[in-house]
Amino acid sequence: MTDANNKTLLQVDEPKAEGLETEGALSIEQSSVGKTDENSWKAHWDLLLSFLILSIILILEYGFKIELSRPFALVVNGIAYLLAGRGVLALAFRKSIRGDIFNEFVLMSVATIGAFCISEFEEGVAVMLFYQIGEWFQNAAVNRAKRSIKALLDIRPDEVTVIRNNNTGVVNPSQVNIGETIMIKPGEKVALDGELISENASFNTAALTGESRPDTKYKGERVLAGMINLNTVSEVRVTAAFKDSKLSRILEMVQDATARKSQTQLFISRFAKVYTPIVFFLALALVVIPYFILDSYHFYSWFYRALVFLVISCPCALVVSIPLGYFGGIGLASRNGILFKGSNFLDVMTRVNTIVMDKTGTLTKGVFKVQQVVPEGIEAKELLRLTSALERNSTHPVGKAITDYAPNIEDNTKATNVEEIAGHGLRGTIDNKEILAGNLKLLKKYSIDYPKEIEQIVDTIVVVAVSNRYAGYITIADEIKEDAASAIKAMHDLNIKTVMLSGDKQAVVDHVARQIGLDEVYGDLLPEGKVEKVQWLKDQGRHIAFVGDGVNDAPVVALADAGIAMGGLGSDATIETADIVIQNDQPSKIVSAIRVGKITRNIVWQNISLAMGVKIVVLILGAGGIANLWEAVIADVGVALLAILNAVRIQRIKL
């Protein structure tokens, strides 16, 4: 149970997790329940002693028909009451003197002190005791919910073996510089992002991608912090500082995610701020109004009903179980390689009815291979030399395919004055000649003639011009991801429209669309063209998630209702802009993200319906004099625990 004004946070600033904290004062202000992070019996001796005292009193009274004298009963019950409720009373007092009187702590204090005032000692103790026991179990549930993300924090190593001057030494990862070489032994976790120097190595990437099968990396391929070396001593050249590693950014995303509330959470917080004072005044009215309208008014009876009203009206089940439900959704997604940057995006994904996707790196592997080199007026070797020299200045997968295909062709050739023309290609100078390499739009932009028949080529092509003359083309083929077709089918099963936007020519995107079953495809698009298409879809009232991986996708990712980045191949700019990051680049994870959102929404609304339904029934019974304080506290704590258990259930769901 936590204050309606508070939120659930995960502290991950340090390498070791501080953990999930509910900022209700019972945990922050060191009350009897929250003064320790442990949920052991010893940590709650006061509650157990209070429970023992109450049990003995009830056994004597109802089992042996032995009634304690009023003064003695007051003292003994008072001790049990203070053992259980001193933290709540102290907190209620501190909040009251600050002017915050409409909260659950003041509510519990008023109800229980009122019970003592009318000599209902055991009931007053029971209300406070079971309230605190409920708090205990809820804290345990919160701790359970945090473990999946705390496990992610634990994969960040505190030390790394670095090779300096042919000697090895163990240092903190933050002390390793970019360009240095680190050694990873079998079973060790990779501490920093880098490039594999060894010939090959197998890694467990489950912590980052949710996939348990080994991933074999080869010399020159990227290795990420958080992976576990499986089979051989490996060396990695560091390419990113500790604070800039992909894993560190993931942890920052998780931290931010727990602080961003969903619309449902915000609504419940606002609702609780209004709801709590209303029930206070309704309880007061329940005591005062009958005095003026009934001939036989009995203060004790109506005051007792008001106390029941106060106890059952406590909004604990809502303000704890709902944030816990969303936190569980974020944890479920993270275990499956999907990072939500806020619980609000879990809600957004439930409303998405159109998925717009980029092609390269999203639906295709983005691993291009050169198929043909077709020169015109120039030798093939020369065409490759000029093109590869220019493409060495690009991070695009197409450029990498060309440089990988021609690694030994005059590596000393340098391109100068290189300019990247977004959505077109590259322009630069080699041997005092202006070189253009890119798509057909690039040649059209510079009014360079080319054979029209090359427009019919289905594969991706890079056309080249030397000194404003067409010099030939290179064909490059990409491979569709294994799960792309099944992912599109799953989206259709959810009645979601699928659209692909690409800078590739229309013939290429049409070919891909036919293979995997997309609804609509648009090719030959510049970055601004993608933005226009997405805006056009939004103007039709569509709720859109855009999935991309390139730098030029960042504007569209920002425009969509939910921006999704492919985190493995994706550019840093797109990952930073995105609302959701898919770590293993699988299109099927898009469907998983939607399912996580819907699972979370269903459980949250189950809890809302359960809590409000039970409370309304018992409020009516209490106001009518049918329900007593025992029934009120059992109903309140019971519905809170049921809601918590329902929220924790998210942790066990398998997608």
- Indicate whether 9 pLDDT > 90: no
pLDDT classification of 546: cutoffs 50, 70, 90: very high
Domain boundaries, the chain: 177-240, 340-364+480-598, 367-479
| Contact status, residue 359 vs residue 384, Cβ threshold 8 Å | no
Tens of pLDDT, residue by residue over 83-111, are: 999 998 999 899 889 988 877 788 788 88
Q: Which of 260-264, 497-501, 583-587, 640-644 has the lowest mean pLDDT?
A: 260-264
Calpha distance 475→515 (Å, rounded):
20
Kindly write down the DSSP assignment for every residue of 123-140, as one continuous string: HHHHHHHHHHHHHHHHHH
pLDDT value for 145 = 52
Which residue in 134, 121, 107 sits closest to 47, CA to CA? 134
Helix H or strand E segment including 418: strand 416-421
- Tell me the C-alpha distance between 522 and 530, whole Å: 9
Q: Tell me the mean pLDDT in the region 434-454.
A: 92
Q: Which residue has the tokens 């309230």?
A: 131
Alpha-carbon span 315 to 274, nearest angstrom: 11
* pLDDT for res 202: 87
Going by the DSSP 8-state scheme, the letter that residue 62 receives in this structure is I
Q: Which CATH class is domain 177-240?
A: mainly beta
CATH of 367-479 given 3.40.720.10, 1.10.357.10, 1.10.10.10, 3.40.1110.10: 3.40.1110.10
Q: Is 243 exposed, middle or buried (0-12, 13-18, 19+ CB in 10 A)?
A: exposed
pLDDT at site 570: 47
Q: Mean pLDDT in the chain?
A: 81
CATH number of 340-364+480-598: 3.40.50.1000
Sign of the dihedral through C-alpha 259, 260, 262, 266: positive
Q: What is the pTM of this model?
A: 0.65
| pLDDT bracket for residue 411 (50, 70, 90) | low
Residue-wise pLDDT tens digits, 624-647: 888 888 888 778 778 877 887 888
Q: Residue 507's pLDDT is what? A: 81
DSSP 501-517: E-SS-HHHHHHHHHHHT
Q: Which of 49-63, 283-297, 387-401, 405-419 has the lowest mean pLDDT?
A: 405-419
Angle at 93 between CA 89 and CA 97, to 5 degrees: 170
Angle between helices 263-293 and 343-351 (to 10 degrees): 100
pLDDT of residue 142: 61
The active-site residue, picked from 358, 549, 585, 636, is: 358
Q: Are 515 and 489 in contact (CB under 8 A)?
A: no
Burial (CB count within 10 angstroms: exposed 0-12, middle 13-18, buried 19+), residue 474: buried
- pLDDT for the residue 6: 34
Binning pLDDT at 50, 70 and 90, where does residue 81 land? very high
Q: What is the mean pLDDT of residues 102-125?
A: 85
Q: Any catalytic annotation for residue 358?
A: yes
In single-letter form, the type of residue at position 617 comes to: V
**Which residues make Cβ contacts (< 8 Å) with residue 423, sequence separation at least 6?**
441, 503, 525, 526, 527, 529, 552
CA distance 499 to 520: 5
What is the model's pLDDT at position 102?
A: 79
